[in-house]
Amino acid sequence: MKVLIVGGVAGGASAAARLRRLDESCEIILFERGEYISFANCGLPYYIGGVIQDREDLILQTPESFKARFNIDVRVNNEVISINPSEKYVEVKRLDSGEVYSESYDYLILSPGAYPVRPNIPGSDSDRVFTLRNIADTFKLKDFIDSRSPRHAAVIGGGYIGAEMAENLVKAGLRVTVVEREKQVIAALDFDMAAAVHRHMEKKGVRLLLGNGVQSIEEVDGELRITMDSGVITADMAIMAVGVLPDTALAKRAGLSLNFRGSIVVDSQMRTSDPYIYAVGDAVEVVDFVSGEKTFVPLAGPANKQGRIAADNISGIAREYHGTQGSSVLKVFDLTVAATGLNEKAAMELGYDYDKSFTYSPSHASYYPGGGDMCIKVLFERGSGKILGAQIVGSDGVDKRCDVIATAIRFGATAYDLARLELCYAPPYSSAKDPVNMAGFVIQNLLDGLVKNFHWHDVGSLPRDGSVTLMDTRTPAEYSRGHIDGFINIPLDSLRERLSELDRSKPVYVVCQIGLRGYIACRILSQYGFKCFNLSGGYRLYETIFGKPANNNRVKINPETQLPENA
């Protein structure tokens, strides 16, 4: 059997290694149009920032090591330029000489990945404007910084790559401005969770210009003049990080089925519309594990799994890919951001009958030094309590908790299951009631009717005419440092003694710092005949969103989309 593989990173390299482990006699040829295979794609920004100092550390395998370990014929600087599915051969161009040759196959695996979007912006072809996709891009960018000593960088796009590049450019000694067309960074997050990231990036010195599209880039006197929707900034260099698209021109020319995004359509075995051609990685259409909808999720973890699955099926082991749930984690300076499953934007668009909870929990026992809080947002189905998605922003332990919830989602868990989980505990690592358990407890209380929530986007529409009671249960000192307009201060510990001040005929809306004291207050009030609602996430979440958002503009929320206006 002869198998050709197009693309030597992530999915392609994984498929090649798996094929060899399953079949020692198989002839395997791997084509890579670049100079490197199996490199640390996700580590590239950290070389720019000096966290990874040795260029060689980015290269996980070389053609020589792959040959020695797996007996695979790796051909770098060889670009597959066409596929003839009917006669089962490809045409390959040697990029160093321009020679074109053909190679036959029994099976073909496509793993071309995705390419950075370069919008049709006048001036974006300047040699001071960079993208970051591969090793060559990385070295070019690093060499520019080392040789030209730029002082100010503009990052166009606030997604994963944009956020990572902002951090690492700051570490490289540059002033950084992030220009993002949307009203928030990191599209996988909902706006309420992204707000904490905005504040943290600004605290670290990054200037955020949100809700700003770039109109043009002009090089003037050795610097870039970047014209946006709302003004002009200058920078010595720019990184274009506005997203990626599937690199499927080769598949299109071969007549393989593509979807409206241009992604290669595959079945659950990673087989394309041609039974002898498989496709894996960022170039393929996947099924969202939670919703069942077809989607595009360019992540390294799924790519590696898909490569393995394609190799298994070619080798006669029936294996299926069961969908992508978008589990991801991101370092933003000393903040960790993680997400899995559906976010609220997706749940709303898909028509789910869902609710959400916000909890703040310490990363480990509060009495053990060095911990920090994490904010956990969980989306769940009303009625069943099935977990639909989660987003976590915090410091230590964020990745661990998101992995636990990602696993729970994969097995169809409910909030009751989160409450029942028995997780590892010792003071340096967790609390006896783990943050995941706490999220489960809070949702369990909602499902069981022990408390009713209201949310940060409901606060502005609450009447201030005396028809409802608005109450802040924090201490007077906390209240004096900042509170929501219209909320009177009755501290939790004096609530029972002051019940006579409240009118049982009026609903009570309660706020505390993170939601815990508000829950206790509602339990007291409900047992004395009051109808009570607790602000999920408390004043801390509210203040994160409304206190001082990026751009120094007060946030105005569209009540239908629960997003900033004009988002």
Asked if 402 is an active-site residue, the reply is: no
- CA dist 521 and 496 (Å) reads 9
Q: Tokens 């010595």 label which residue?
A: 236
Q: State how far the Cα of 438 lies from the Cα of 404, in Å rounded to an integer.
A: 13
Q: Please provide residue 144's backbone torsions phi and psi, each rounded to the nearest 5 degrees.
A: -65, -45
Q: Which of 42, 402, 512, 532 is an active site residue?
A: 42
Do the beta carbons of residue 348 and residue 561 sit within 8 Å? Answer: yes
Reduced to 3 states (helix: H, G, I; strand: E, B; else coil), residue 151 is: coil
- Rounded Cα distance, 516 and 453, in Å: 12
Q: Which of 544, 564, 557 is nearest to 180 (CA)?
A: 564
In angstroms, the first-to-last Cα distance of the chain is 53
At 97, give phi and psi (nearest 5°). Answer: -115, -20
Q: How far apart are CA 144 and CA 224, in angstroms?
A: 15
Name the pairing type of β-strands 508-511 and 532-535. parallel
Tell me how crowded residue 477 is: count the other CB atoms within 10 A of its CB.
8
CA angle 38, 127, 10 (to 5 degrees): 10
Angle, CA of 311, 314 and 316, to the nearest 5°: 110
Could you tell me the two tokens for 525? 């009030």
Question: Which stretches within 516-564 are classed as H helix?
Answer: 516-527, 538-546
Cα–Cα distance between 161 and 143 in angstroms, integer?
19
Q: Which residues have CB under 8 Å from 423's CB, separation 6+?
A: 404, 430, 434, 436, 437
CA dihedral 43, 44, 45, 50 (to 10 degrees): 90
Separation CA 300–CA 278 (nearest Å): 18
The whole-angstrom separation of Cα 45 and Cα 155 is 12
505, 423 contact by CB (below 8 A)? no
Distance CA 440, CA 450 (A): 14
Q: Which residues are catalytic?
A: 42
